[in-house]
Amino acid sequence: MKFKCVIFDLDGTLVDTIGDITASVNRALSDNGYSLHSEDEYYTMVGWGWRRLCTLALPEEERSAERVEAIFGASLAYYAENPVAFTKPYRGIPELLVTLKQKKIKTAVLTNKPDSLAQAVTAAAFPADTFSAVYGERPEQFPRKPDPGSTWELLLELDASPRETVFVGDSEVDVATALAADCHSIGVSWGYRDKAVLEKAGAQRVIDTPGDLLEIIQEKF
């Protein structure tokens, strides 16, 4: 089988964004008088969308819709001020993306990060022509991952079938998305979840370096 497309998650897969996530949400929490969290604590909260992240960042007894919305709006505004203050691609990712492009394999980003931030982060972290498409959370168009609808919408744009596509991510959310969409699932061990979490979720492979992905594609899985 010849693969035509690789879909990447963003946070914890292509780029390490935990510093900016921590800074923006903690600033919103501080403004509202709540305790702050460490980067290690945020590792366990990310992956399911920004609103859920803000919900988990609040004390359980403070998670009313109004308070969640206050943290949600403020943290997004702070994040948008400088979305890549601490963010950087993981080692080997820029070279991987160049090689995939040379091999005529399309690459795309599918993330539960709000679409405006997804566009801003990818634009700042990578050259303009790196990805064929970037999809952040677009609730007016499709449900967020792990619902497969966003993946299928993306593949229609890229003219690729699920079985011609590898879905690469660092969380159980990405594995579940790949399996629901009938794509090949590859987990990465350098992100925000332990390798055991990805294996338990059903990832077909879990890789330790970006270069491992090229080997898998060349093996044709």
Read off the CATH number of the domain in which 175 is found: 3.40.50.1000
Name the DSSP class of 220.
Answer: T
With a pLDDT cut of 90, the percent of the chain lying above it is: 93
pLDDT band at 1 (very low <50, low <70, confident <90, very high): low
Domain that holds residue 128: 5-16+87-219
Given this model, what pLDDT does residue 208 score? Answer: 97
**Are 46 and 101 found together in one domain?**
no
**Which of 79, 82, 88, 81 is CA-nearest to residue 22?**
79
Active-site residue, 9 included? yes
Query: 67 and 131 share a domain?
Result: no
50 and 151 in a single domain? The answer is no
- At residue 113 the predicted structure's pLDDT band, cuts being 50, 70 and 90, is very high
**How many domains does the chain divide into?**
2
CA–CA separation, 221 and 205 (whole Å): 9
Query: Do 98 and 181 fall into the same domain?
Result: yes
176 and 74 belong to one structural domain = no
Give pTM, 2 decimals. Answer: 0.92
Q: What are phi and psi of 120, to 5 degrees?
A: -65, -45
Q: Which residue has the tokens 């160049």?
A: 98
Domain containing residue 73: CATH number: 1.10.150.240
pLDDT digit string (tens) for 122-174? Answer: 999 999 999 999 999 999 999 999 999 999 999 999 999 999 999 999 999 99
pLDDT at site 144: 93
Is a pLDDT exceeding 70 seen at residue 221? no
Which is catalytic among the residues 9, 11, 16, 174? 9
Q: Summarize pLDDT for 167-219 with one digit per residue, the tens.
A: 999 999 999 999 999 999 999 999 999 999 999 999 999 999 999 999 888 77
Q: At what angle do helices 65-81 and 18-31 cross, to 10 degrees?
A: 130
Last residue of a domain, which of 81, 111, 128?
81
28 plus 130 within the same structural domain: no
107 with 207, same domain: the answer is yes
State whether 39 and 91 are in the same domain: no
Residue 172: its pLDDT value, please? 96
Q: pLDDT-based confidence at 220, cuts 50/70/90? A: low
Task: Based on the fold, state whether residues 94 and 67 are members of the same structural domain.
Answer: no
Residues 63 and 112 in one domain: no
Do 63 and 41 lie in one domain? The reply is yes
pLDDT of residue 136: 97
Q: Which of 22-26, 48-52, 117-121, 160-164 has the lowest mean pLDDT?
A: 48-52
Residue with tokens 């945020």: 42
Of 81, 103, 135, which residue is a domain's last?
A: 81
How high does pLDDT run on average in the chain? 95
pLDDT at 38 over 60: yes
35 and 104, same structural domain?
no
